Structure 1
Amino acid sequence: MKSRVYFLRANHRENDDILAQKTWQVTEPLVDLSALDSSSFVALKIHFGEKNNYGFITPSWLKTLIKFLATRTKRLFWTDTNTLYTGLRSNAAEHLQLAAQHGFSQENTGIPVIIADGLVGRDKYEIEVHLPHIQKAKIASLLATIDYLFCLSHFTGHILTGFGGAIKNLGMGCAARVGKLEQHSDVHPWVKTKSCRYCLLCRAFCPTAAIIPEEGHVRIDDEKCIGCGECLAVCPVGAIKLRWSESSELIQKKMAEYAWAVHQGLPLQAVYLNYLVKITKDCDCMSKERHFIVDDIGILSSQDPVAIDQASVDLVNQQAGEDLLRKLTGINWEIQLEHAQQIGLGSREYELIELTSE
């Protein structure tokens, strides 16, 4: 049986009140408010955006959803995990400050922000999964105590996985630091020395001091490298390379297995929303604005993370008239979807139900 994916056309330039109503309209068919009561913990899992990047989902777009959920429970909050790479989102103290700067605060939205894996990402909960690449998933400990999860994803391209949507937000975004490390453990970048300008920008962003200066160029210490990919993202001339076929395939499969741990391994109900607006080649972890690769498409919802990601990719590529994500990233993005389906995370077969604005 095909999984249902609801779809409503939307544009980020629309009034915030309209987008809030559209968010609720596309979510409502999947939410049973009667299943919630005053004891229910409800998490809105979202990326709060990197400094100087404003592609993230605006909190005001969720205000109608919050209003309805708040009629059933006051145990409602925003959440995300700390990052593997350095920056303001690598620890809870600065992460919370950045979230507040981007509008995610008790004062602005009426609900608090809780970082799911603690001060520096060490608070974890282990789930035995016994899947092909992951035996025991290490997820953020907070997730083991919630009853309802709204996984809110800004759909974009991605330098390592081809695209980032529900599966990435669930698998990588819900992992504790040690879980992120496990997923990145097969990523091994190297330096094309003839192209290196010796600007040392990569060294400034490396969280483990794995970038070693040499005469006129840098090299990467494989023993120190954790595979976070930050150096690839910041190099202005593309001098840092990756063995894409091997590294991307493994990280996509591990990410899907971590997503399975959250979706299937925990006793929670989950709803997935993908926002296909402000779509860029790279994810919102990039600390700068990027141009949009296609026009805004809309908002999707589903209870199946695989189906919603497949539908998102299809809509982007249909609008572009080609496999744009593969063309721009050079990544076989189908790996994560194929593997996710094989392990039982969800189905790539879906029924797209387009709604009309109320």
Structure 2
Amino acid sequence: MRQVSVTGLGVVCSSGTDTHSFWNNIVAGNAQILAPRCMPDSRLRVAELRDDGFLEHLPVKAPALDRSAQFAVRAAGEAMEMAGLLPHTFEPSRVAVIMGNGGAGLTTLDEQFRRLYQEGQLRCHPLSIAKSMSSSSASWVSIAFGLRGPTFVVASACASGAHAIGLGAQLVQSGIVDIAVVGGCEAPLNEGTIRAWDSMRILAPDACRPFSKGRLGLILGEGAGVLVLEADRHARARGAKSYATLAGFACSADAMDMFNPSIEGMSQVMRDSLAQAGLAPADIQYINAHGTGTLANDVAEANAVRAVFGNSPPPLSSTKSVTGHGLGASGGIEAVATILAMHNQFLPPTANFIEADADCSIDCVPNVGRAAVIQSGLSNSFAFGGLNASLVFTS
């Protein structure tokens, strides 16, 4: 099986429209938590990207894309540029595109339902189907950059982005492709979707406070995180820089409950990803947690980490405290954060932390990040439906 290198990173979310601004805001704990643009007078808060200047630089016409696909194309473009994948420098049929999302085209659907049911119009916008279909984001990345290898979308709720990354790595490892452009995207910040999440009573009123005493729930976010994965030999042959190696990936299902996480399921998928990477728990210096800020998830994840790593687990932080919960995008965004932590040898903080919770007895790097030697990092994604994924990156 071929070694898989990460040769490019791209991100767009409320914390920034490129990896540089994203990392600076993550390190500073600078969360943009505001009332939604679509509901300016609402008591609800979201992590929403307010700077739409990135749309001016898309290689395809932005109005033809749902907002989630716009995010995907932008992040993929940055990742490919970082990887040095310029036109005519690679074989397009040897490049796969796999994107993950939890609910494709949610903004488009909300807009068109409002048009029909509130405004009384009789027809939807003619691009509604093309913009809202599940495969739209992967298709647009393929079209925008002329990539003709296997192209599809993974839909597994909040584990979608991590699953897409793992499946892309397997395509590269097996030799089916040389390069895979992979990650997650999501644009759920419309009134219908926000109110649907609010009905579950798991949205925080002010901020996401993972692993903190007094946490009240998650903050919805949006965006995309994309990696360029490449066979190491192929990358070296063209002189590409490797930012990390994707050494392990595991996924599983709890087969237990739609909403309540399983400590056993979480811990087993971490063990399996470490085993695939050929690493012991002691070899991991940083964990990017799923860390949603909900009561049940944070306790279960903390206990699962202790089950795998013992009573002194490595530092763990939740970057969702800054970015919000990007749903299907979160696995991609957090993979980027994990690799940047390794690249910069710095532990990003868990922002908005108030007080230690005895039920979450872990070092979650509260409020202030710190320098550290990080040779190996683990990124966790645990989704509704009991769908688990863990990615192991090494330097």
Q: TM-score, normalised by structure 2?
A: 0.29
Q: TM-score, normalised by structure 1?
A: 0.31
